[in-house]
Amino acid sequence: MQETEPTMEDMEQLSPDELAAKKKEMLDFYNESMPYLDAQLSYEKKLAEIDEVRFKRSQIQMQFAMMMNPPEEEQEKPEPESKKRSLKKK
């Protein structure tokens, strides 16, 4: 069965020796976890670098594609002359 975390009330009821032992237990736990956390940090940084490089590469590819296929300029189409209507004079 797993121990539950002591509440603040439980911590206040501990003797100075028990409190020191609890602090040492917590410190040991954190110190033992550090290599795993360092490895995870390194892993996460590497993933972020990979994402950044992928983004830059896709940006370059888009710019290259736009350079190779510039947007077609719309040729001016002559507008059909519409019959201009004028108002009748009275």
Note the pLDDT of residue 77.
Answer: 64
Asked if 14 and 22 count as a contact pair (C-beta separation under 8 A), the reply is yes
Name the CA dihedral angle for 33, 38, 43, 47, rounded to a multiple of 10 degrees: 120
CA distances from 1 to 4, 13 (A): 9, 23
User: Model confidence over 14-43: pLDDT tens digits?
Assistant: 888 998 999 999 999 999 999 999 999 999
For residue 66, what are its two tokens?
């736009």
pLDDT at 88 over 80: no
pLDDT at 48 over 90: yes
What is the pTM for the complete model shown? 0.51
Does residue 55 lie in a domain region? yes
Does residue 61 lie in a domain region? yes
The structural domain count of the chain equals: 1
User: Model confidence over 60-85: pLDDT tens digits?
Assistant: 999 999 999 977 776 666 666 667 77
Does residue 20 lie in a domain region? yes
Asked if 6 and 22 count as a contact pair (C-beta separation under 8 A), the reply is yes
Does residue 27 lie in a domain region? yes
Does residue 21 lie in a domain region? yes
